[in-house]
């Protein structure tokens, strides 16, 4: 009787292992399909954005800087009203040695 129960338990464990393996393979294939679908959706989205960007006119950084500077009206008068003063030179504090703070 014991040999027969060992054969039955061996068959049951093999069936369980095969079933679990097939279930795992099917699950991994399903996850792979979903990942590929998400990847293709992202690729389509980025290609659409690239097409929109290609249609936009290219601007110079210098011209955009000049345009932003021209948008600020009377910058010198605003600085005078805020009591700003022009400076000639900036002096930085230099730390002696490698430590900045000593006790």
Residue 33: per-residue pLDDT: 96
Residue-range domain boundaries for the chain: 2-59
Q: How many C-beta atoms surround the C-beta of residue 25 within 10 A?
A: 10
- Between the alpha carbon of residue 46 and those of residues 41, 52, 54, 56, 81, the distances in Å are 9, 10, 12, 16, 48
Average pLDDT of span 52-78: 66
pTM reported for the whole predicted model: 0.43
Phi/psi of residue 96, nearest 5 degrees: -90, 130
Reported residue count of the chain is 103
Token digits for 82?
A: 């805020």
Of 22-26, 46-50, 72-76, 83-87, give the range with the top mean pLDDT. Answer: 22-26
pLDDT band at residue 35 under the 50/70/90 scheme: very high
Token digits for 88?
A: 């000639």
What is the DSSP annotation of 5-52?
A: HHHHHHHHHHHHHHHHHHHHHHHHHHHHHHHHHHHHHHHHHHHHHHHH
- Which comes out higher in pLDDT, residue 37 or 52? 37
């Amino acid at each position: 009787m014991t040999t027969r129960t060992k054969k039955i338990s061996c068959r049951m464990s093999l069936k369980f292992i095969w079933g679990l393996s097939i279930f795992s393979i099917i699950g991994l294939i399903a996850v792979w399909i979903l990942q590929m679908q998400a990847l293709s959706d992202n690729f389509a989205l980025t290609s659409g954005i690239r097409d929109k960007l290609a249609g936009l006119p290219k601007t110079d950084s210098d011209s955009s800087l000049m345009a932003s500077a021209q948008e600020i009206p009377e910058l010198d008068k605003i600085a005078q009203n805020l009591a700003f003063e022009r400076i000639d030179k900036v002096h930085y504090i230099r730390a002696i040695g490698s430590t900045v703070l000593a006790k």
